[in-house]
Chain A
């Protein structure tokens, strides 16, 4: 494995008495596509969100592109970083949500250029040119002036992908990007994601789309009860799972 761009060491997190992450260790290499699968409540979304510090962790270390995420060493213990440092670390990470979370009071174009202009301080004209190119890339040219409420779920998620890409992130995190979509538009979002993977993007995808995992992922990780049960190339993990837990989950989801 080449130098990892994401590395997690001993990540733990509890909600009250319920430990949802029980010491997670894993690494992702540049250009790698990792699919996180597992039953609901297994901690996969929490894990993904912690990589962007949308979820605080109780202990452990998360490093993305050489930067500590969320916490820093201070006199021998870890404490939360300043808001500024957290915001800076997040610029390397693009995040896609189950419910898209586009800004409803802004047009598609305004959604995409907001962060490049206000956060990365790029020129407005450049940001608009980039946004147009990205919209073409996700198959939505001509929708610049539409409001999110005028678009289908699949179109909204593709705008959200363009919005994330506009910040030129080094890593993309997908949190069940197709779970809220009507079945007939799932394909158009998966196609865009497949193109991104083929273009060399580093991606972690929490998903229930086993077809996508089998076809696109370099590695599939199966999580249950806050721990990684097993991981491996999709053909092995999905075709010949080693653990009983994995087998019952796959039997249920592929039935």
Chain B
């Protein structure tokens, strides 16, 4: 190739070159340890990776995450709308909820819900100081599973409320003014105009929440629910292969979070319609092509 005195090339920093070499060496070292240190017991890791007990644990972890996140999002949206309400009664009750459930560690909440029957043997419905209209037995109502879902979902709702509120506030007031000027009701305005635009802002932190929640489900092992962590704990308490089985669980957690990351970026691209100048996202043209393909 001919030397071209006008061609501009990026400047090379010696420190960066040295760091690159160091990183490659570190990577080679790490990989070689994985293969040379026999304490990893890879055979055991893979023996249990697809075992019935572990797979059942994966399924429990997944549906516990799904149902808690779903409830968390729904309650979170309601709380966010309450926080932004013109009526103080809504604003304050949502504020107190968020203060409480965000302030108490999830682990404490889980154990608390599980032991609720010691505090309230029956759960009564009615007015204060009056004979209850009907009562439910707390021991029957709050099983291990409901305690786990309540603990995870109610806490998640508090975090989601703040995320959704930030998303709603990111949509300019001109949008709801234009919608109401067209005769759209507050609910229609929220559903069709504000929420879709807020969603774009809400999704990235919600992805973080989902991954946190997935990992957070491992806390329910204290309630002896056979999630992924509890499943491997049960196995290694019998065969004492603690490290290999924790690696089995680690692999599953990483696989699931990786899949969730891919799903998140797909959803982000979908809601970026109409926003241009953001690299790597759908341009309006791409969405148009999709619409044309449908019609």
Please list the residues of chain A having a beta carbon within 8 angstroms of any beta carbon in chain B: 52, 54, 83-84, 86-88, 90-91, 93-95, 97, 99, 101-107, 114-115, 118-120, 145-150, 160, 163-164, 167
Q: Are the C-beta atoms of A103 and B181 separated by less than 8 Å? A: no
Q: Are the C-beta atoms of A104 and B182 separated by less than 8 Å? A: no
Q: Are the C-beta atoms of A145 and B288 separated by less than 8 Å? A: yes
Q: Are the C-beta atoms of B188 and A119 separated by less than 8 Å? A: yes
- B143 interface residue, CB < 8 Å from A? no
Can you pick out 15 interface pairs between chain A and chain B where the beta carbons lie within 8 Å of each other?
A54-B177, A90-B183, A97-B177, A101-B177, A101-B178, A103-B193, A104-B274, A104-B275, A105-B196, A105-B197, A105-B274, A107-B284, A119-B185, A149-B274, A167-B183
Besides A101-B174, A103-B197, A106-B274, 15 new A-B residue pairs in contact (Cβ under 8 A), listed by A number: A87-B185, A90-B182, A93-B181, A95-B178, A97-B177, A102-B178, A103-B178, A105-B200, A114-B192, A119-B182, A147-B274, A149-B274, A149-B276, A164-B181, A167-B182
Q: Are the C-beta atoms of B184 and A87 separated by less than 8 Å? A: yes
**A-B interface pairs (CB < 8 A), number:** 87
A146 to B285, CA, bound (A): 8
CB contact between B275 and one of A93, A97, A146, A149 (< 8 Å): that residue: A149
A146 to B288, CA, bound (A): 8
The answer to whether residues A148 and B274 also contact, given A101-B175, A105-B197 and a CB cut-off of 8 A, is: yes
Task: Give chain B interface residues in 177-213, CB to chain A under 8 Å.
Answer: 177-186, 188, 192-193, 196-197, 200
Q: Which B residues are in CB contact (< 8 Å) with A86? A: 180
Q: Which B residues are in CB contact (< 8 Å) with A95? A: 177-178, 181
Q: Which B residues are in CB contact (< 8 Å) with A54? A: 177, 180-181
Please list the residues of chain B having a beta carbon within 8 angstroms of any beta carbon in chain A: 172, 174-175, 177-186, 188, 192-193, 196-197, 200, 271, 273-276, 284, 288, 291
Q: Are the C-beta atoms of A90 and B180 separated by less than 8 Å? A: yes
A114 to B174, CA, bound (A): 16
- The distance from the CB of B199 to the nearest CB of chain A, in whole angstroms, is 9
CB contact between A114 and one of B172, B182, B197, B274 (< 8 Å): that residue: B182
A104 to B273, CA, bound (A): 8
Q: Are the C-beta atoms of B284 and A119 separated by less than 8 Å? A: no
Main SS class of interface, B: helix
CB contact between B183 and one of A88, A145, A146 (< 8 Å): that residue: A88
Please give me the residue from chain B that is nearest to A83 by CB atom.
B186
The answer to whether residues A97 and B291 also contact, given A87-B183, A90-B180, A103-B193 and a CB cut-off of 8 A, is: no
Q: Which A residues are in CB contact (< 8 Å) with B186? A: 83
Please give me the residue from chain B that is nearest to A84 by CB atom.
B185
Q: Which A residues are in CB contact (< 8 Å) with B179? A: 103
CB contact between A118 and one of B178, B188, B273 (< 8 Å): that residue: B188
Q: Are the C-beta atoms of B182 and A149 separated by less than 8 Å? A: no
Interface pairs A-B: 6 shortest CB-CB: A101-B178, A115-B182, A91-B183, A95-B181, A101-B174, A147-B274
Query: In this complex, which of B179, B182, B184, B188 has the most chain A Cβ atoms within 10 angstroms of its Cβ?
Result: B182
Q: Which B residues are in CB contact (< 8 Å) with A115? A: 182-184
Please give me the residue from chain B that is nearest to A102 by CB atom.
B178
Q: Which B residues are in CB contact (< 8 Å) with A164? A: 181-182
A87 to B177, CA, bound (A): 11
A148 to B273, CA, bound (A): 11
Q: Are the C-beta atoms of A52 and B174 separated by less than 8 Å? A: no
Q: Which B residues are in CB contact (< 8 Å) with A149? A: 274-276, 284
The answer to whether residues A118 and B192 also contact, given A88-B183, A145-B288 and a CB cut-off of 8 A, is: yes
Q: Are the C-beta atoms of A105 and B276 separated by less than 8 Å? A: no
A94 to B271, CA, bound (A): 29
- The distance from the CB of A244 to the nearest CB of chain B, in whole angstroms, is 36
Q: Are the C-beta atoms of A145 and B181 separated by less than 8 Å? A: no
A145 to B291, CA, bound (A): 9
- The distance from the CB of A22 to the nearest CB of chain B, in whole angstroms, is 24
A115 to B174, CA, bound (A): 16
Q: Which A residues are in CB contact (< 8 Å) with B184? A: 87, 114-115, 118-119
A119 to B181, CA, bound (A): 11
A147 to B184, CA, bound (A): 21
A119 to B271, CA, bound (A): 24
Q: Which A residues are in CB contact (< 8 Å) with B271? A: 105
- The distance from the CB of A27 to the nearest CB of chain B, in whole angstroms, is 22
- The distance from the CB of B285 to the nearest CB of chain A, in whole angstroms, is 9
Q: Are the C-beta atoms of A87 and B284 separated by less than 8 Å? A: no
A146 to B284, CA, bound (A): 8
Query: In this complex, which of A54, A87, A149 has the most chain B Cβ atoms within 10 angstroms of its Cβ?
Result: A87
Q: Are the C-beta atoms of A97 and B183 separated by less than 8 Å? A: no
A99 to B172, CA, bound (A): 11
Q: Are the C-beta atoms of A97 and B276 separated by less than 8 Å? A: no
A140 to B177, CA, bound (A): 24
Q: Are the C-beta atoms of B284 and A147 separated by less than 8 Å? A: yes
Please give me the residue from chain B that is nearest to A145 by CB atom.
B288
Please give me the residue from chain A that is nearest to B291 by CB atom.
A145
CB contact between A150 and one of B181, B182, B200, B276 (< 8 Å): that residue: B276
A88 to B273, CA, bound (A): 31
